[in-house]
Amino acid sequence: MNHSFQLNLKTFLERSTLYFPNKEIVSREPDDSLFRYTYAEFYSRTKRLANVLKKFGIQKGDRIASLAWNTHRHLELYLGGPCYGAVLHTVNLRYGEPEIIYTINHAEDKILFFDEDQLPIVEAIADQLHHIQAYVVLGKDIPQTTLSPIYSYEQLLGLVDDQFSFEMLDEYSPATICYTSATTGLPKGVTYTHRSLYLYTSALMYKDVTAISETDSIMPMVPMFHVNAWGLPYAAIATGAKLVLPGYRPNVHHLLSLIESEEVTLTAAAVTIGVEMVNLLEKHEYKVSSLRGLWLGGQAIPKAIIDKLYYKYDVPVVQGYGATETSPLITFLHVRKDQQQIDENENINLRTRQGTLIPGIEMKIIDETGKEIAWDDQQMGEIHARGPWAADKYLNDERSATSFVDGWWKSGDIATIDKQGSIRIVDRNKDMIKSGGEWISSVQLENELIAHPDVQEACVVAIPDEKWLERPLACIVLKHPMNETEMEAELMQWLTPKFPKWWLPSQFEFLNEIPKNATGKFNKKLLREMLAKEKREV
């Protein structure tokens, strides 16, 4: 055995250009046109980027930042930066300015690559970025700006050749950094190594996971700044699959149009995007028959959405479980051989689960006493995980001590597990509602509420109660204006047969919009603060 061989992202990059030089990468431009080039051209440009980094004096281990959408230039940073030896920090452009400033400074980034539409943000915070030595706009021209020194990405690539040989780096070398939003305090940095990304990407290709292969057309709708777009760009490059990038500020029209025009076979997005897709498909005809899977994540998927996509549009919804700390996947929904003949209702119920453990990862679900729960799908506990693509600490952050214990990551997610080892996420620990000493799952209430034909979004949070300590409050966004008193009565009637009486919401709030966080999930913390403020002002 060759124990000196290192697991490197460069092997994916070189494989795609060697075996699939003419396969396409498609990237939507700001004017909605589509830019197309090949894996061979992509490889050439990553080598030019490496020469640019060399001219800037970037050393192995130095950190560079991207503030960018899902585009071909961002993809070049994804591979060209880490394969050169730099560490790419993908900045979450949906963060507020304080979080963007903090993460760039905390990572000690030296160059900031950004899309031109992010220029106002970069200009506003530039004097607070302590380590940035150069700004590079990801386009052809340099805009009018106060930033200095500033360069055009295309002009920089035009000044160098593509003669560069990527070396085999130590597999434990850091490759990328993503930050995860903290429940309290500032974001926490998670570092991914070449080894962890290689092993995670390989797991994505398992048939019982996403089964990505050269025959696919892959479109990561999930942002490339969010946990490496769940690994989809790496898996596409590793296999030589066609890769479709939705570009600047994509809306659901853009996404469905690309699925149709590029015959996308697998795509991934936040659950909220999946809900928007269903709402739009009911109004406009888009051909989505090419999809063999729509991977939704970030929060539990409403059963009604899975049902409609599967039986009305013939699009199987797939999901798993994970987090920024786990790259992200540690479980994935797999329909076992002994489950393939189940009836329609059982099929949809199965697809609402987050699946079974992916080979290579270890997991245990711990109750409040510290014991592992029974596989009875009734007892609840917190998920703990460890493995080769799971973090064991945060980047230079004292909060590591409370989140990682003896190599295990403590997720804060509450789940049950059935006799076949399939998990079901019940709630976030902090979002569980404890009423009169008994637990109520906000997720299960939300899933049933959104199944109502007049409900567009539903989010359930705890509110204080003198008698029961906490009671559920349901926040509802309706598809159309309706009488709220009548709608509240109808929703109570809708829920009553499905839950114990003490689970039913004590109050309903009808909103125009439910706030979301930087990853597209419902921001329950902000929602609770808004509701508390409104109560004080009354």
Q: Which two tokens stand for residue 33?
A: 């046109």
What residues contact 397, with CB distance under 8 A and at least 6 apart?
A: 188, 189
Active-site choice (140, 312, 434, 479): 434
pLDDT band at 536 (very low <50, low <70, confident <90, very high): very low
**d(Cα 85, Cα 59) in Å, to the nearest integer?**
7
Does residue 311 carry a pLDDT above 50?
yes
Helix (H) or strand (E) holding 440: strand 438-440
Task: Estimate to the nearest angstrom the gap between the alpha carbon of 499 and the chain centroid.
Answer: 31
Residue 392, both tokens:
């064991």
Q: Which tens digits make up the pLDDT trace of 469-521?
A: 889 999 999 999 999 999 999 999 999 998 888 889 999 999 999 998 777 77
Residue 441 clears pLDDT 50, i.e. is over it: yes
What is the mean pLDDT of the segment spanning 182-203?
92
Residue 304: what pLDDT? 86
User: Nearest 5°: phi and psi at 450?
Assistant: -75, -15
Q: Is 325 a catalytic residue?
A: yes
Which pLDDT value is given to residue 537?
A: 42
Least confident range from 33-37, 193-197, 399-403: namely 399-403
CA–CA distance, 126 with 133 (Å, rounded to integer): 11
| Of residues 367, 499, 489, 484, the one with CA closest to residue 446 | 499
pLDDT of 493 reads 94
371 is catalytic: no
Percent of the chain as helix, strand, coil, to the nearest 5: 35, 25, 40
The pLDDT value recorded for residue 286 is: 96
Domain 10-21+36-208 falls under CATH 3.40.50.12780? yes
Query: Quick check: is 439 catalytic?
Result: yes
- Among the ranges given (6-10, 75-79, 97-101, 437-441), the one the predictor scored with the smallest mean pLDDT: 437-441
CATH code given to domain 432-537: 3.30.300.30
User: Residue 7 and residue 18: Cα distance in Å, rounded?
Assistant: 18
The confidence score (pLDDT) of residue 439 equals: 75
Burial of 131 (0-12, 13-18, 19+ CB in 10 A): middle
- Tell me how far apart the alpha carbons of residues 232 and 319 are, in angstroms, rounded to a whole number: 14
231-253 tens-digit pLDDT: 999 999 999 999 999 999 999 99
Q: Which one of 17, 103, 180, 324 is the catalytic residue?
A: 180
pLDDT score for 319: 94
Check pLDDT > 80 for residue 533.
no
Question: Which residues neighbour 362 within 8 Å (Cβ) at sequence distance 6 or greater?
Answer: 385, 386, 387
Q: CATH homologous superfamily for 322-429?
A: Luciferase; Domain 3 (2.30.38.10)
pLDDT at residue 258 greater than cutoff 80: yes
Tell me the β-bridge partners of 516: 522
Verify whether residue 110 is a known catalytic residue: no
| pLDDT, mean of residues 256-272 | 95
Q: For residues 470 and 437, is the Cβ–Cβ distance under 8 A?
A: no
Q: What is the pTM for the complete model shown? A: 0.86
pLDDT in tens, 406-440: 999 999 899 999 999 999 988 877 787 878 767 78
Catalytic residue, from 262, 276, 325, 457: name it: 325
Report how far residue 111's alpha carbon sits from residue 352's, in angstroms, rounded to the nearest whole number. 42
**Residues 439, 484, 496, 533: which is the catalytic one?**
439
pLDDT at 356: 97
Domain boundaries in the chain? 10-21+36-208, 322-429, 432-537
Tell me how far apart the alpha carbons of residues 255 and 450 are, in angstroms, rounded to a whole number: 22
Q: What is the reported pLDDT for 184?
A: 64
